[in-house]
Structure 1
Amino acid sequence: MRIIAGDWRGRALTAVGKGDPRAHLRPTTDRVRESLFNMLAGGRFGEPFGGAHVLDLFAGTGALGLEALSRGAADCVFVDDGRRAQTLLRDNIRLLGCNDRARVIARDATRLPPAETACDLVFLDPPYGKSLGAAALGTARAGGWIAPEALVVWEENAPQLAPEGFSLLDSRRYGDTHVTVLRAD
């Protein structure tokens, strides 16, 4: 895994191997991440990275949030309750030297504490097929984590419907990964 573009373009992240299926650690492949970020940066969704406050739910290795930081996001809050994921995430933050722009919350993404800052860009990559995405999104919204008009990028094994309070902007398939893009109403 590597950072695709921005300040840290080409920088390798901590090796994960094939992930950790027991912990549902399934890193987004470089190819899918590149396609996803090219879609986001294509202008259709405005300028989603520059100065953005980012929330990375079910962060795993943190590759999505770190890519956003590399492309100009102001800061990122990474949320994951897996021990292996937290270790990899902290290693990647240290590797890129972005401790001042990254915060790790070691907690279940469906049980967030109240937010200090609402986020403009939210990555949601729950374990596939467990119906955790909608629950995490609802908790994040109730806790003040999601700013009005925030962009939400949701990875799952199937296209997702927009929950109440969100509008569907786009849905794309990359192999067995479906990316649903939402806008907070």
Structure 2
Amino acid sequence: MRIISGNFKRKKILEPKDQITRPLKDLTKESIFNIIYHSKKFDIQLKDSNILDLFSGVGSFGLECLSRGSSSLTFVENYKEVLMVLKKNISLLECDDKSTVIEKDIFNRLNFNDFKKKFEIIFLDPPFKEERLALLLNLISDSNILKDNGIIILHRHKNENDNFPENFKVIEQKIYGVSKIIFGNYS
């Protein structure tokens, strides 16, 4: 795995050693950033933005955002096997000053109302079998942590048929290989 573009372009990041974690593939990541930069359906600037990366894994998406000029990244991960790799990747790219790692279970121990800032982008890359996305999206909506013009990006298996809350609006949806990328916000 590597950083695709920006200040850390071509730098490798460490991958997990286990078979449970599903790292974001470079092609999928590149597709996400192409949509962010070129979509006419929303206007998000990565430069100087605050990003929340839920189910961060080894940090591939968040580190790519930092490489492209985001001002801060909040990583949320609780799987001990990848937390060490995430922290090493942040350190290897010398992003400690722009990164916060929260080691909590998103559904049980994380209080979204505790965030001190609002985010332009919230990235969700849960395990493909995770069925509580509507609950998570409602937690995000109720806590009001997404900026008014902000977007939520969901990475799902292409065959998943998720039910979203009524106030969640799908802006754009693309399929790449086994991945479905959903861009949305709250209307």
> TM-score if structure 2 supplies the norm length?
0.89
User: For residues 160 and 170 of structure 1, what CA distance do their matches in structure 2 show?
Assistant: 15
What does residue 61 of structure 1 align with? 58
The alpha carbon displacement at 1:164 in A equals 2.9
What does residue 68 of structure 2 align with? 71
Q: Is the 8 A contact 2:58 2:83 kept in 1?
A: yes
Return closer, same or farther for 1:153/1:159 CA change in 2, 3 Å cut-off: farther
SS in 2 for 1:171: strand
User: For residues 86 and 27 of structure 1, what CA distance do their matches in structure 2 show?
Assistant: 13
The alpha carbon displacement at 1:110 in A equals 2.3
Matched, 1:15 2:15: yes
SS in 1 for 2:57: coil
- The percentage of counterpart residues that share the same residue type is 28
The 4+ residue runs of structure 1 with deviation greater than 4 A are 159-162
What does residue 123 of structure 1 align with? 123
AA aligned to 1:76 is: L
What does residue 133 of structure 2 align with? 133
What does residue 184 of structure 1 align with? 186
SS in 1 for 2:170: strand
SS in 1 for 2:48: coil
The alignment covers a number of residue pairs equal to 181
What does residue 27 of structure 1 align with? 23
User: For residues 139 and 83 of structure 1, what CA distance do their matches in structure 2 show?
Assistant: 24
Q: Is the 8 A contact 2:76 2:104 kept in 1?
A: yes
The alpha carbon displacement at 1:145 in A equals 2.6
User: For residues 39 and 67 of structure 1, what CA distance do their matches in structure 2 show?
Assistant: 14
Residue of structure 2 aligned with 1:169, choices 168, 171, 183? 171
